[in-house]
Structure 1
């Protein structure tokens, strides 16, 4: 069923409904920062920033937001949830300099009867009384019909009766929430199609929740049925399973339904990161649009296809969100994945060196699932300076360390075709390894030189799972020698650097003997 393209308002309720997420409480400064970002940079049409009469801290935050909004021309786009309490919510909002109240009425007969103990007539009279006072005080008025989804299903006549009593009052938007997230797309479409057809002169908003993981699909159904605005949150924050994700809704409405929106997509990820940091609720790496990994290709065949003709690219490209495409390096990597990353680093390698580097990446991928572009210079440097000497091979090595306990090592090595086992102890894992390997090397009249320096580092901006590079400077008599080891474990990076030196010196001993 085709539908005509039209403008859909996005109302962000991160600062109100999103703050009802378990464990989330924004400070006034954080609230102001998020509000400014939403309106000034992301350009959402409206924001809901608080519930009236919650706390003095909330009042301070709302006052600061409203003061800024008035100066910037956004005053009528900042909304506060209010209650059917005649003057109290209205006066609270007015005292903060607010211009809009989102009045919370009962959208289901069961809530009205069992929670309030009132009839439709009694409740609607009190709602109209609060509306009249808000209008008298100069506020713009929207109204929530709380639990509308269950109310419409269980007692549609109650819903019609409430809307009939309010439709001629000064209400701008009738906001219909799926408060408990119980609707499926066909139910959303049928109910909104009925409401929009029955009341063509009213503006309806849809306020979805994501309890069944259907929030975005439900938004599509509501828009298809004719609603004019959708409520969302950044990062899907909200009670229980959260609200609809603003990023998902925005992209789906544009790409899949050809709707017109006000928002600037290039700021979605930056604001997602801001809310993630302030809320303490982490975004899944595979979350659509804003997840850390969603524009990363892992399989080598995908990188190959993109290189040969953009075969795996879609309209959902990273550039529109101020992001970049990346190609993960690991055990599933191919030549194309490596080439893409080398291009990004502006590094050229011969075909032979690319093969060596790729082999090392695949090997590391067994112990570290993904190698980043930041890790790659370490690997390149390590591979290019490595010689093909195989006088000593580390076959196995087990480390045990504990707080205030000596570290122990058990290892198995092959030297010139012969297997050896040894154990060692020391003040740390590397010290224990040196003790163990020295016992083996005595049999070959070889003694490790003294350490002159030992440096461990990770890539700039690296994460806790970044590769570790260890560069050891050895005091080899008349000269200092440096060897490098790269591994996901910093102790093993030192061990790799040590094995490299042993290989070099065993080779020199063999050559001089010949």
Structure 2
């Protein structure tokens, strides 16, 4: 069995309160979704606005592998606007519950059905693929629901879909509900909302019951509590059900981050698959098990979804994780020294501090008495940035007891600070920034920012990291920490 994925991030997902994407942003996401391996991209609703039509046309012009779809109501004007955008298909949505027909449309059920059939025939006559969806299907009379779906198939609908519009299904009922509809002679799609936190579970049950396609959004964004999360469904199918999709799972994390950045919808740290804590470990017992055999506390490998495992240092850290970190930083310690470092890390954790790599290096250097290897010390950093100001930074460094003051400008405050530091180091070492990565690992305006960088000096590349609430200080601290490690390594070579 192979499941098809209809991604509705650009339509249902964009209906998340506060989200509005430009045509260019929609195109960027569509290109990524196509690379990801999505089968059908519901790229918007052509009737909505001129900007929406511009986005659809831009996406269609790219000639993507994915089928490009526009949402449409059972109205000729909606279908005509979709046709003008040259889309491959329409997602034709018609309410089927008494609540929607009587109170929203205020029309007789027979008229709603007739309008739906006329719309399907009109779309098919004009060369469109039609996926026909029953809105609020899970609160509809089953006899009427099956009648309208059967008639839609007879009218030429290529696929049918039953929507759990307000997320009221349970997994047990989802299996029965979609199992009944899977008996109809057309490919069946599952479309679930997350009002009770069951969208992914219900989607999986619908697929088990006989559906062959699932509607989902990246990060589960969407109206109210959102839609079923694409990344959770795909990985669950792959790992738990041995069911294939066309999705390149290694691209899930980077796609998630891109959508979060462009929509501004924050991903909670403990979110499955793509949350920053999904593959982070602090507990000593867990880390010890992970180091011995990853499967002890990880149901999937982080690499499967484009992630890396991360060990967090705090009061729950165990000796195995700390030893691993010390070895990573090339610190050789005896039992007494290790105990001192271990206790100091625990004490910082008890004070509520997240112990960064830089903190650990400072502690280890202090215990080992090798603080003198720290050639570069930050004395002061000042950054000026604003709406009409070019980001400018000044830094004061002490390098081998010599005080150096430099300034730099950049595209942003972090870039300006790094430029100023690199200028300060020009006479000492030609250090190049190879890679820069930043994540917010907690929520809120005081979120801890995790900065990871890669620096090169001659033929040596090292990684450095810092975690702070201030992104500028975290970036500067990580950079200087990396510089000190590179210079210390060079010094060792010469001795």
- Shared fold, TM over 0.5: yes
Gaps of 5+ in 2: 372-401, 407-416, 422-435, 441-446, 452-465, 471-495
* CA deviation vs aligned residue, 1:98-125 (integer Å, no higher than 9, x gap): 1211111122233223322222321222
**Deviation (angstroms), 1:11:** 1.1
Query: 2:53 — aligned with what?
Result: 59
Query: 1:509 — aligned with what?
Result: none
* CA deviation vs aligned residue, 1:355-379 (integer Å, no higher than 9, x gap): 2322221121123443233543333
Query: 1:19 — aligned with what?
Result: 14
Query: 1:254 — aligned with what?
Result: 238
Q: Quick check: 1:18–1:242 contact (8 Å CA) kept in 2?
A: yes
Cα distance change, pair 452–17 in 1 and its aligned pair in 2 (3 A): same
* CA deviation vs aligned residue, 1:413-445 (integer Å, no higher than 9, x gap): xxxxxxxxxxxxxxxxxxxxxxxxxxxxxxxxx
Residue pairs, 1:351-370, within 5 angstroms = 351-370=335-354
Name which of 150, 157, 166 aligns with 2:152: 166
Q: Quick check: 1:368–1:488 contact (8 Å CA) kept in 2?
A: no
* CA deviation vs aligned residue, 1:26-45 (integer Å, no higher than 9, x gap): 111111011110112x1011
Name which of 196, 205, 221 aligns with 2:189: 205
Cα distance change, pair 139–328 in 1 and its aligned pair in 2 (3 A): same
Name which of 179, 185, 194 aligns with 2:180: 194
Query: 1:289 — aligned with what?
Result: 273
CA distance in 1, matches of 2:362, 2:450: 8
CA distance in 2, matches of 1:232, 1:244: 5
Cα distance change, pair 208–100 in 1 and its aligned pair in 2 (3 A): same
Name which of 107, 124, 141 aligns with 1:135: 124
CA distance in 2, matches of 1:321, 1:103: 33
* CA deviation vs aligned residue, 1:6-57 (integer Å, no higher than 9, x gap): 11111111100000101011111111011110112x1011111101211111
Name which of 212, 230, 241 aligns with 1:228: 212
CA distance in 2, matches of 1:291, 1:129: 45
Query: 1:101 — aligned with what?
Result: 90
Query: 1:114 — aligned with what?
Result: 103
Query: 1:83 — aligned with what?
Result: 73
Q: Quick check: 1:206–1:231 contact (8 Å CA) kept in 2?
A: yes
Gaps of 5+ in 1: 1-5, 388-450, 469-485, 491-514
Query: 1:300 — aligned with what?
Result: 284
Query: 2:307 — aligned with what?
Result: 323
**Deviation (angstroms), 1:353:** 3.0
User: Is the counterpart of residue 372 in structure 1 residue 348 in structure 2?
Assistant: no
Q: Quick check: 2:356–2:467 contact (8 Å CA) kept in 1?
A: no
CA distance in 1, matches of 2:261, 2:294: 34
* CA deviation vs aligned residue, 1:313-335 (integer Å, no higher than 9, x gap): 44411121222212211111121
CA distance in 2, matches of 1:99, 1:465: 44
Q: Quick check: 1:338–1:358 contact (8 Å CA) kept in 2?
A: yes
Cα distance change, pair 257–311 in 1 and its aligned pair in 2 (3 A): closer
Name which of 47, 50, 57 aligns with 2:44: 50
CA distance in 1, matches of 2:44, 2:93: 13
Residue pairs, 1:255-274, within 5 angstroms = 255-274=239-258
Q: Quick check: 1:303–1:340 contact (8 Å CA) kept in 2?
A: no
Cα distance change, pair 144–487 in 1 and its aligned pair in 2 (3 A): closer
CA distance in 1, matches of 2:363, 2:437: 17
* CA deviation vs aligned residue, 1:112-145 (integer Å, no higher than 9, x gap): 2332222232122211222222112111111110
Larger Rg: 1
CA distance in 2, matches of 1:355, 1:453: 38
**TM-score normalised per structure 1:** 0.71
Residue pairs, 1:173-184, within 5 angstroms = 173-184=159-170
**Deviation (angstroms), 1:193:** 1.4
Name which of 18, 30, 37 aligns with 2:32: 37
Computed over aligned residues only, the root mean square deviation of the Cα atoms, in angstroms, reads 3.0
**TM-score normalised per structure 2:** 0.74
Partner-residue secondary structure (3-state), 1:167: helix
Cα distance change, pair 248–309 in 1 and its aligned pair in 2 (3 A): closer
Query: 1:400 — aligned with what?
Result: none
CA distance in 2, matches of 1:171, 1:329: 56
User: Is the counterpart of residue 28 in structure 1 residue 15 in structure 2?
Assistant: no
User: Is the counterpart of residue 92 in structure 1 residue 78 in structure 2?
Assistant: no
CA distance in 1, matches of 2:363, 2:24: 43
CA distance in 1, matches of 2:79, 2:312: 54
Q: Quick check: 2:200–2:228 contact (8 Å CA) kept in 1?
A: yes
